[in-house]
Amino acid sequence: MAIVAVILAGGVSQRMGQEKAGMYGGVERIQRCLADAGIERCVVLCGEENRASLFKGEVMADPPHLKGLHRIIPWIRTTLDATILLVPCDAFLLSSEAIKAFLAASPKGGVPNDEEGHRQPLFAHVPCDVKLNEAATSVLSLVENLPTVDVVEHRTAFSNFNQPSDLQHPRLSNRRP
């Protein structure tokens, strides 16, 4: 079954204090990485309907009756009726090589580790037949049944950036915000 990438681009980051979806090449750079990795379908989950025009390609708004990403992820997986690969819009270091390596290492789904060895659930590969934790109160608990996948040579690619101080990462220094 084909994988559908779902880019999480729901709004201005409160901790970062700005719109991360446009930083470091933004969603368009991530879409190119996904296409280069062989992902044929990519959906941008844009948050509120009024944000849809900010993005190119296939865009879907979050359903207003669902609150929290841990509720929206099961909805999008059911709506698309597909295996999904989550990708946060702050995946500033993501590469097509890292995507290919992660998917090859997680044929039955999984959650990658970042460079500090922490599980990064916003990058989860979620097969349509995997049971998610219906009692979840967070994305971390939603995907707790998925195995951790450590693609050692690409750990840095699965970093996300939540605060201005995170932007001091040495691998970002050669990229334009």
Domain residue ranges of the chain, discontinuous segments joined by +: 3-172
**Mean pLDDT to the nearest integer, 109-132:** 93
User: CA nearest 92: which of 44, 36, 37, 22?
Assistant: 22
d(CA 68, CA 130): 20
Phi/psi for 161 (5° steps) reads: -130, 115
d(CA 143, CA 21): 23
d(CA 40, CA 92): 21
Q: Give the global pTM.
A: 0.86
**Mean pLDDT to the nearest integer, 14-26:** 58
User: CA nearest 102: which of 27, 42, 153, 33?
Assistant: 153
User: What is the pLDDT, as a whole number, of residue 116?
Assistant: 87
Is the confidence at residue 34, as pLDDT, over 90?
Answer: yes
Instruction: Dump pLDDT digits (tens) for 46-98.
Output: 888 988 999 999 999 999 888 888 999 999 999 999 999 999 988 888 999 99
What percentage of the chain has pLDDT greater than the value 70? Answer: 81
Q: Domain 3-172 sits in which CATH superfamily?
A: Spore Coat Polysaccharide Biosynthesis Protein SpsA; Chain A (3.90.550.10)
Q: Is pLDDT larger for residue 164 or for residue 130?
A: 130
